Amino acid sequence: MRPVLWAVAACVLIAGLRGTPAPGWSRAGLGVTIALAGCLLPMAVAAANRWPLESPAQCAALPLVVGSFGVALAGQQSNGIATLPASVAVMTGFLFLHPRTATVIGTVIAAGLFVADIQGVAHRSATDAFTTVLFCAVLGAMAWCMRQAGLATDRSELLLAQLEDAREAEAAAAAVAERTRIAQDLHDVLAQSLSGLAIQLEAARRLARRESTDEALRQVIESSGRLVKEGMAEARRAVGALRGEGVPTVDRLSELIERYRDDLGLDVTLTTIGAARDLPTDAGMALYRGVQEALTNVVRYAHGSTARVDLEYRAESTVLSVEDRRPESGVVAEPLVTGSGLGLVGLRERLAEVGGTVSAGPTRDGWVVRMEVGA
């Protein structure tokens, strides 16, 4: 409505200055000046978006003020534009007010305009005055239709937003269902296989004790049993992660390193730099799995080396590096197990999903894996 109000105000100002009687500071001219100012000032304030419209009373004040002074102007000047402010006031009422309130205000303004046309300086006929009232009614009906169209558009946008939310919820539910299915498959395959392996290792451990087997062999069997139990625990955690349950993050790195130190004999230390803070769950789990993969590679390919894990909290990112160093002799044991070679590839993919990066390469004394995610 602001451009319309500016245009109406300009037309009323030009016509008012050229009308009869002209605005002045005495007698009839003073009345025209007051009526003209009473019409133009509220319209200018509303067009400048300065008129408060926070309550029904404030909304009703605008058409009432403009309409009242518009009726006064129509009764004092004989030009046809003098009826325009009152007509615009009726239209404004139907745009912003409840239909019942707008009808009451519009009826009062139209009745006043009818009387002003007949009894004012113009002395119009009843037919001309009725035409003016009809013009007000047409503007009011048009404004009501515009308001209904706007409300229909708002309802359509709301329905579209609700439909989009429903689609997102449906997609999220489908993803949860798929993750639950995968979790069930993992549970059936890994948990059952590892459980059977744990039973077999327990039987081997008891048999080794009874047959007075070499101590080193018994230790290997017992260590294998502990690793199987850890594997079962990791499998349960992985299944829980797929089901949306708690997942391991960087706050559990000390536990992970302790297991590698006790179960695999890896000489590894953890150093934390900076003030610790909570990371997003996905980012924390990605870093945790990255350390797990890197330490596993140290055990596989550089058995006998020492390793260090550095966790650094920077202002804009979190950096985690895993570096291994060959023993002073420079000789490392043969690889215990040959991996698939896809560990680092999977690690890069996992970090990329959370907006992180991975770099890996040789150093003067060994190998380093460096991971970084946003703060």
Q: How many residues does the chain have?
A: 375
Cα distances (angstroms) measured from residue 300 to each of 8, 264, 308: 84, 10, 16
On whether residue 153 sits in a domain, the answer given is no
On whether residue 179 sits in a domain, the answer given is no
On whether residue 226 sits in a domain, the answer given is no
Give the model confidence (pLDDT) of 125-164 as tens digits: 888 888 888 989 998 999 899 989 988 999 999 999 999 9
Report the CATH number that the domain containing residue 283 is assigned in CATH.
3.30.565.10
C-alpha–C-alpha distance, residues 90 and 71, integer Å:
12
On whether residue 171 sits in a domain, the answer given is no
Residue-number span of the structural domain to which 309 is assigned: 248-375
C-alpha–C-alpha distance, residues 247 and 174, integer Å:
21
On whether residue 284 sits in a domain, the answer given is yes
- Supply the pLDDT for residue 339: 47
Which comes out higher in pLDDT, residue 250 or 334? 250
Number of domains in the chain: 2
- Determine which of 199-203, 264-268, 296-300, 305-309 has the lowest per-residue pLDDT on average: 199-203
- Supply the pLDDT for residue 332: 53
What are the structure tokens assigned to 321, written together?
A: 């590096």
What are the structure tokens assigned to 333, written together?
A: 């044991």
On whether residue 210 sits in a domain, the answer given is no
Q: pTM for this structure?
A: 0.46
- Supply the pLDDT for residue 124: 79
On whether residue 370 sits in a domain, the answer given is yes
Q: Quick check: 343 pLDDT over 80?
A: no
C-alpha–C-alpha distance, residues 347 and 344, integer Å:
5
C-alpha–C-alpha distance, residues 133 and 322, integer Å:
85
Identify the domain boundary among 124, 155, 172: 124
- Determine which of 19-28, 89-98, 226-235, 285-294 has the lowest per-residue pLDDT on average: 226-235
Identify the domain boundary among 124, 146, 163: 124
pLDDT tier, 95 (very low <50, low <70, confident <90, very high otherwise): confident
Torsion of CA 182, 183, 184, 186, to 10 degrees: 90
Identify the domain boundary among 72, 102, 124: 124
3-state SS string over the chain?
Answer: CHHHHHHHHHHHHHHHHHCCCCCCCCHHHHHHHHHHHHHHHHHHHHHCCCCCCCCHHHHHHHHHHHHHHHHHHHHHCCCHHHHHHHHHHHHHHHHHCCHHHHHHHHHHHHHHHHHHHHHCCCCCCHHHHHHHHHHHHHHHHHHHHHHHHHHHHHHHHHHHHHHHHHHHHHHHHHHHHHHHHHHHHHHHHHHHHHHHHHHHHHHHHHHHHHCCCCHHHHHHHHHHHHHHHHHHHHHHHHHHHHCCCCCCCHHHHHHHHHHHHHHCCCEEEEEEECCCCCCCHHHHHHHHHHHHHHHHHHHHHCCCCEEEEEEEECCCEEEEEEEEECCCCCCCCCCCCCCCCCHHHHHHHHHHHCCCEEEEEECCCEEEEEEEEEC
Give the model confidence (pLDDT) of 222-274 as tens digits: 677 666 666 666 666 666 666 555 567 888 899 888 888 887 778 899 999 98
Residues in Cβ contact with 176 at an 8 Å cutoff, skipping those fewer than 6 apart: 244
On whether residue 60 sits in a domain, the answer given is yes
